[in-house]
Structure 1
C-alpha cells in the first residue's frame, strides 16, 4: 500500500484544495470496496504493527523531544499499548465482523433476522499532544479493523511526534486509504468542514464542543474522548502503602498530563496524614529528592499550560512539593491542602502534577463532593471492603476506572474506554472501538414460500390475530 510519492504525508501547508482532494480520493477508495475484506484489514493491521516497531526509536526520540518522556514511560504508556491494541484487533477482527443471528418474533413467521456490521466510511481522527502516539494509533486501529479509510490530524503541540507519525503513515499506506495531515488550528478547521462519515476527537472539552458543533452542521456522528475532574477516593480500610504507590504513579506519570489521572484526592480524615506521608516517600523513591532536577521527569508541554498550573499553587497550602523551574517548564509533584470546592483548582481539570487533597468522614460527603462537578472521565476507589467498593462504583456516574489502582484500565482491550456527559461521548478499545467505527444494519430475511395474509388490509381476521401476537 505504500507509495514513495507520498512518503512524507501531507505537510502543514495543506490548503483547502489539497484537503478537498484528499477526502474526495478517500471516499472514492472506500466506495471501491477495497477496504471491506477481512484479509485486507488484517494485512493492514500487520503493516501498521511492523511500521510502529520499525519507527520505535524515532517515536521514542520524538516523545523525549516534545515532552521529555523517558523510554520506559514512552513504551509502557504509548508504544507498547498501541502494539498490544493492534495485535488484539488483528486476532479478533474476523469474529467482530461476522453477521450475528438474532431471534425473530412470531409476527414474522418464516423469517430470519441478523445484524450486519459495516464500516462508517471515511473517518477523521484528531489526536492530542499528551499521549500523541497511543491516542493517535489506537483510534486508527479501530478504524482499520472496521474497514474505514482514515484522515489523521496529529497535534501541533507535539510537533516532533507529529512529524514522525506522519512519516510512518506516509511510508506505510497510500493517502487515499490512510493519510496524516499536519498543521495548526486552521488545518483542523478546514478538515472539520469536510463531509466525513465519522469524527473521532481526543482532547479538551472546550475543543470537543467546537468539534461537535462543526459535526452537527453536517449531521456527522462523533466520538469524543474528553476529560474532567477524576476523583481518587481512599477509605480508612485501604492498604495505604499500596495506595500511595499507585496514586503517585497514576497522578505523576507524564507529569500529570493524563486525561485519566486522579485530579483530586478524597481521603478519609482518619488516614489522611498517614497516606500523605507514604505518598511523599513514594515521590522521593520514584523521582529523587529533587524531582525537577531528574533528567527523566516529564516537563509541561508549553508555557501557557505551565503558567496555568503554577497558578494553582497559590490556592491552598502546599503540604508537599511546590518547586518549579520556569526555564525547564517543570513542576515538582505537589500535594495541596486547604482548598474548597469553590477554589479554581477544584473547578478546572488540572492536567499537571498538582494534587488537591480533601477529606471526608461520612460516605454521603463523597457523593456530595464528586457530584459538585460534572461526570468525570475516571474514578478510583481504594478500599478493602467489597461492599464499599460496589457502593461507590454503583452510585457515582463516571466513564470508567479502577478499584485499588489508577489509570491502568485503558490498557485492557476488553474494556470500553470513554467518558459520560461532558467527559465524552462514545467509547472504544478492542471490540468497542470496532463498534465505534461501524454501523450495525438490522436485516430481516423473509420466506417467499408462503405468506401470512393477516397483515394486509383485506384480511377480515387480521386485527384479532395481530392483537393476540402483540400482547
Structure 2
C-alpha cells in the first residue's frame, strides 16, 4: 500500500463533490493562502536565512511575488472562469449553433518545489492550481529543511487536507508520490529529475508542467550601455549565489568593448558585495557542500580576473569572473548554478548565434544592445523560454508574461492567465440548435449531402 494513498484518496473524493469548481471555494483558498503568507512572513524570512543565508531583499521577494499572484487571480478569477464563446463556421452560427470553451480543473495536483526559491516556486504553481479549482499536494525541497518544516507545521493550520496538504522528505517520498495517479503534476527543478518526473507521469498519462533550466546565454554587443548592462547582468548571475534557473549563465561580449566590460564588471562586483563577499549580508551561500565543491571545480585559476576563493565547509564560493572563457572550459559544459561567471569574446554576431542555436535550448536568454536590427535577429533566430532585452531576470515575475521553458529547459508555461489555462482542461463544446434539421445520416442515396454539409463551411 502506498504511504500516501489515503492522502490522495481524500483529495480525490473531495474533488468528485465538485466543490472546488465553485468560484467561492477558489477565492476562499486564495484568501487562506494570502493570510498564510502575511501572518508568517517574518518566520519564513528567518528560515530562508537559516537554510542558505538568503539576503533580506531576496527573502522578501519570496513573499511579495506570490502575494502579487494571489491579487491577480482574485481580481481576474471571475473573468478567467467564464466560458468563452468562439467563432465557428458561418453556416452553423447562422443556424443557431455556437462554439464554447469551458475551463475545468484537472483534479488532484502534485506540486514539487525547488530549493533555490523554496517558498515562491512552491506556491506560485499552487496558486495557479487552486485558482483553476484543483486540490493540491505540496512537496517542498528537502534541501531547505527549515523552510520545509515550516510548511509542514503551518499548512494544516490554514487549509483543510482535502484542499491543500503537504508531504516532506526526499527521493524516497517523491518516488512514492509519483506512483499515484495524480491528475496533474507541476515540477520545478533540474532537467535530470524532470526526466524522472516525466517518465512517472507517462505511466498514468498525467499532464505535466516542467520548469527546468539550462545554460542561459547573454550577449552584449558594441552598442550596449555598459554602465547599465554590467549591474543588471552581474546581479542576474550572482543573486542567490548564482542558484537560480534564469540566471545569465555566460556572457558573449563584443571584442571592441570586452576589456571595458570586464573592468566595469569587476567594479560592479566590489560595489555590490565588497572586497570580501564572504562578509556581505547580501550574498547567499551554496545549498550544500557537494554543490560548493562542484561549482568550485569550474574555476580555472589562470582565467580568474576576480574572485576564485571558496570554502566547502562554509558552503561559500566567492563571486568569480573567468575571462576569456571558451566552450572547452568546465564551466561551459553544463548549467553552472553558482557564482562562477564565464565571459567569452566575439566579433561576428551571426557566428555566435549559430553556435548558441545548436546548444540545448535554454530557459532564458538576454541581449544588451541599442541596435534594433541586432535585437530582431536575436529574437527571431534563437529559441528559448523567455528573457529580456537590456534587462535580466525580471521577466519571470510579471503575471502577464507566461513563464516557462522549451525543449531541455521545460514543458508548459504559467503565471497569470497562462497559469490558469495550464492548470485547466479546455473543454471545447458545440452547443447545437435543438430544432435544426440536419440530415447527414444513412441511407445517403437521393440526399443532397453537400447542401447539408455546407453549414460547416
TM-score strictly above 0.5: yes
User: TM-score range with shorter-chain normalisation?
Assistant: over 0.9
Residue in 1 that maps onto 2:43: 58
Contact 2:438 2:452 in 1 (8 A): no
Residue 470 of structure 1 deviates from its aligned partner by: 6.2
Residue 387 of structure 1 deviates from its aligned partner by: 2.2
Residue in 2 that maps onto 1:13: none
Contact 1:292 1:324 in 2 (8 A): no
Residue 82 (structure 1) aligned to one of 57, 66, 84: 66
Residue 443 of structure 1 deviates from its aligned partner by: 0.8
Map 1:2-41; keep pairs closer than 5 Å.
17-41=2-26
Instruction: Using the TM superposition, name which of 182-191 and 446-455 deviates more.
Output: 446-455
Residue 313 of structure 1 deviates from its aligned partner by: 0.1
Runs of 5+ consecutive residues of structure 1 not aligned to the other structure: 1-15
Residue in 2 that maps onto 1:289: 275
Q: Does 1:410 align with 2:364?
A: no
Contact 1:380 1:401 in 2 (8 A): yes
Map 1:320-335; keep pairs closer than 5 Å.
320-335=306-321
Map 1:389-468; keep pairs closer than 5 Å.
389-454=375-440, 457-458=443-444, 460-465=446-451
Contact 1:121 1:149 in 2 (8 A): yes
Instruction: Using the TM superposition, name which of 450-459 and 191-200 deviates more.
Output: 450-459
Show CA shifts across 1:191-237 (max 9, x none).
00001000000000000000000110111111000000101110110
Number of paired residues?
455
Map 1:29-428; keep pairs closer than 5 Å.
29-76=14-61, 78-106=62-90, 108=92, 109-314=95-300, 317-428=303-414
Contact 1:456 1:462 in 2 (8 A): no
CA–CA separation in structure 2 for the residues paired with 1:459 and 1:113? 31
CA–CA separation in structure 2 for the residues paired with 1:120 and 1:137? 18
Contact 2:108 2:135 in 1 (8 A): yes
Residue 29 of structure 1 deviates from its aligned partner by: 0.6
3-state SS of the aligned residue for 1:415? coil
Length-normalised TM-score, structure 2: 0.96
Runs of 5+ consecutive residues of structure 2 not aligned to the other structure: none
Instruction: Quickly say closer, same or farther: Cα 1:372–1:448, change in 2 above 3 A.
Output: closer
Residue 252 of structure 1 deviates from its aligned partner by: 0.6
Residue 65 of structure 1 deviates from its aligned partner by: 0.7
Length-normalised TM-score, structure 1: 0.94
CA–CA separation in structure 2 for the residues paired with 1:186 and 1:17? 12
3-state SS of the aligned residue for 1:116? strand
Contact 1:341 1:369 in 2 (8 A): no
CA RMSD of aligned residues (A): 1.6
Show CA shifts across 1:48-69 (max 9, x none).
0111011101100110011101
Residue 113 of structure 1 deviates from its aligned partner by: 1.1
Residue 36 of structure 1 deviates from its aligned partner by: 1.1
